[in-house]
Structure 1
Amino acid sequence: MDSDLENTHPPEKPRGWVATLGRDVDLAFADVPLLASCFVSGVCESITLTAASVFVSMQTGNTLYLALGAAQIPVDQPLLWLRCLASMSSFWAGCLVFSHGARLLGPRRKLSLSLSFALQSALVCAAAALSQSGVVPTFAQRLLGDQTPADRAAVVLRRENDAMVVVPIVLLAFQFGGQIVASRSLGFNEVPTNVLTSVYCDLLSDPKILAPPRENPKRNRRVAAVLLLAAGGLTGGFLQRSAAGMSAALWVAAAVKMGIAVAWLPWKVKEEEPQGEKR
């Protein structure tokens, strides 16, 4: 009996990426998905600024617009403050919900990160569907390069009288709360993914700004964040000028987010410390 017990081996742990979903991701190259998120921020902001004159990820501008709204400025957009408030409150809610979800599942676990970005993608898809269907006309614009001043004035008037315009704003702002939570959870504070003011300051005040690429990875990330956010804005702008329109830009943003969600699944996991070495 004793020999049988001695020869009994513990069952082997299941192998494969499915078995590692509950493990923390290895942080090597984990900044790449966050840098891709900077591109998404640029795309979405280019759409909402044109369609609704509000931000959905950079909330500093919305805070100022809200303050100006109290003084009834600008006079031709009396409801701008309301759209800004919708964006801000949705962003706050997104930060709250995604941060609690991350703590519940584990902020750096593969499953947690994948679910977070999958949900973000779904919300952008919903906004893109509203844009493509024409349910929210100001988010369904295309060929903007051909608009006359009269056409633009008509768009502004329609926007001020359309309550549905806040729906895509709410969807996009909420998911951007999840995006910045992921950035903070992974510890890449130099890539906030949605604002560049602090990035510019940190970049230009870096004493090693001219160091070789391998010697200053934080500088590299900051530069990449600036370039990718600008590239996203440029992409969104050109798509708005094309026949594809705003909806195409939002579908591109949703596809990038879903690509990030899928990429987390087979991601290399952090090596566990051997039991004997833990203190």
Structure 2
Amino acid sequence: MTKEPSSNENLKVQLPEPATAPIQPTRINTVDAEGQISSPRRSNLVSYLYTDVDPLQSSWPLAAYCFMTGYIDSVSFTAIFVWCGFQTGNSVQLALALARLFQGPVGFRDTSFHIADQQALTSLITFILGAFLGRIGNKMGDKTRAWLVLGTFIQALFTMAAAVTVWQSGQGSVADNRGNPSWTSALTFVAIGFMSASLGLQGIMGKRVNTQFATTIVLTTVWCELMADPKLFQLRHWVKTRDHKLIAVLSLFIGGFVGRALIDKIGAAGTLGVGTGFRLLIALSWFFIPGKK
């Protein structure tokens, strides 16, 4: 007697196969400090901007800084015989002005504050303020592209403001002698302040990059270090410690030459306007300096 198969055994339960959909890549967005959603592209840009530049490959922007020192100083010295960048001379000039108060018998001493001394004091104070502004780099990172671009752009704004104030003053660009400066109005004092502040900010930025170009402002130390370089006469090879200093000196010299040549053609205001364009080009150049490895 055979056992017939149960009806349940003949039933085969077929479950539907789960539908498979292609897996879509998920796009992860991050939230910044302000609570705003930032895309990966924006994050990459911010990361790039806040990467330190390689000081060893920053020679050309720093050489351009040296160029601007000679360029702007040529404008101020031609008009008022005051250096907007070289504050050693301005400091000594103010010391001499103070010493005049004690020269000669009482009642016959020169107690006036000469206009040249006023201009030197203006340059010194605003240079210090511009250098102090460079402390923003402590927060953003002294060698980051973000700060180097922003700081150079601020220098350009200062230079542009100097150009506008000189133009509005309507005064000449070339002084006949030290006793007869070309700039005497209040607006030109403002221009001196903006030019000095731009160089003060440039000086602290150049110093923080920490290269053979030093501050890109005062080259007295650069000259001394150049003469003391043990590889000074190795002419067949590239020597960074020597050749970068030579580039700094040459750049400043060319800047002074170009600035003075332009003053004769387009005046001090036009020369400072061209200098604003130079500053903007330097600011853009920091975008392309390779990052520090």
Normalising by structure 1, what TM-score? 0.80
Spell out the pairing of 1:211-226 with structure 2 (5 A cutoff). 211-212=234-235, 214-226=237-249
- Whether contact under 8 Å (1:57, 1:173) holds in the other structure is yes
Tell me, in whole angstroms, the C-alpha distance in 1 between the residues paired with 2:195 and 2:182. Answer: 21
Paired position in structure 2 for 1:177? 200
Paired position in structure 2 for 1:64? 92
SS in 2 for 1:56: coil
Paired position in structure 2 for 1:117? 152
Paired position in structure 1 for 2:169? 135
Spell out the pairing of 1:9-48 with structure 2 (5 A cutoff). 11=28, 13-14=40-41, 17=45, 19-48=47-76
Q: CA deviation at 1:125?
A: 0.9
Provide, for residues 11-48 of structure 1, a one-character-per-residue CA deviation record: whole Å limited to 9, x for no partner: 59538655411211123421211111111111110110
Provide, for residues 152-183 of structure 1, a one-character-per-residue CA deviation record: whole Å limited to 9, x for no partner: 379926644x2322111110111111111111
1:107 and 2:107 aligned: no
Paired position in structure 2 for 1:268? 290
Paired position in structure 2 for 1:95? 131
Normalising by structure 2, what TM-score? 0.76
Would the alpha carbon gap of residues 246 and 48 (structure 1) be closer, same or farther in structure 2, given more than 3 Å must change?
A: same
- Whether contact under 8 Å (1:125, 1:250) holds in the other structure is yes
1:230 and 2:253 aligned: yes
Paired position in structure 1 for 2:219? 196
CA RMSD of aligned residues (A): 2.9
Tell me, in whole angstroms, the C-alpha distance in 1 between the residues paired with 2:204 and 2:237. Answer: 27
Paired position in structure 1 for 2:233? 210
Paired position in structure 1 for 2:276? 254
Tell me, in whole angstroms, the C-alpha distance in 2 between the residues paired with 1:154 and 1:222. Answer: 32
Would the alpha carbon gap of residues 209 and 61 (structure 1) be closer, same or farther in structure 2, given more than 3 Å must change?
A: same
Tell me, in whole angstroms, the C-alpha distance in 1 between the residues paired with 2:62 and 2:238. Answer: 21
Paired position in structure 2 for 1:276? none
Q: Which runs of 4+ in 1 moved over 4 A?
A: 8-13, 15-19, 212-215
Q: What is the number of equivalent residue pairs in this alignment?
A: 250
Higher relative contact order (CA 8 A, sep 6+): 1
- Whether contact under 8 Å (1:69, 1:80) holds in the other structure is no
**Counterpart residue identity of residue 122, structure 2:** A
Would the alpha carbon gap of residues 35 and 10 (structure 1) be closer, same or farther in structure 2, given more than 3 Å must change?
A: same
Would the alpha carbon gap of residues 157 and 169 (structure 1) be closer, same or farther in structure 2, given more than 3 Å must change?
A: closer
Tell me, in whole angstroms, the C-alpha distance in 1 between the residues paired with 2:262 and 2:113. Answer: 25
Would the alpha carbon gap of residues 194 and 80 (structure 1) be closer, same or farther in structure 2, given more than 3 Å must change?
A: same
Q: What are the ranges of 5 or more consecutive residues in structure 1 without an aligned counterpart?
A: 1-7, 145-150, 272-279
Q: What are the ranges of 5 or more consecutive residues in structure 2 without an aligned counterpart?
A: 1-24, 30-39, 102-109
Q: CA deviation at 1:268?
A: 2.4
More helix by share: 1
Q: CA deviation at 1:259?
A: 0.8
Would the alpha carbon gap of residues 126 and 159 (structure 1) be closer, same or farther in structure 2, given more than 3 Å must change?
A: closer
Would the alpha carbon gap of residues 89 and 189 (structure 1) be closer, same or farther in structure 2, given more than 3 Å must change?
A: farther
Tell me, in whole angstroms, the C-alpha distance in 1 between the residues paired with 2:62 and 2:236. Answer: 19
**Counterpart residue identity of residue 124, structure 1:** T
Deviates more, 1:248-257 or 1:168-177: 248-257
Which of 182, 188, 191 is residue 168 of structure 1 equivalent to?
A: 191
Which of 82, 86, 90 is residue 54 of structure 1 equivalent to?
A: 82
Larger radius of gyration: 2
Which of 74, 80, 83 is residue 116 of structure 2 equivalent to?
A: 80
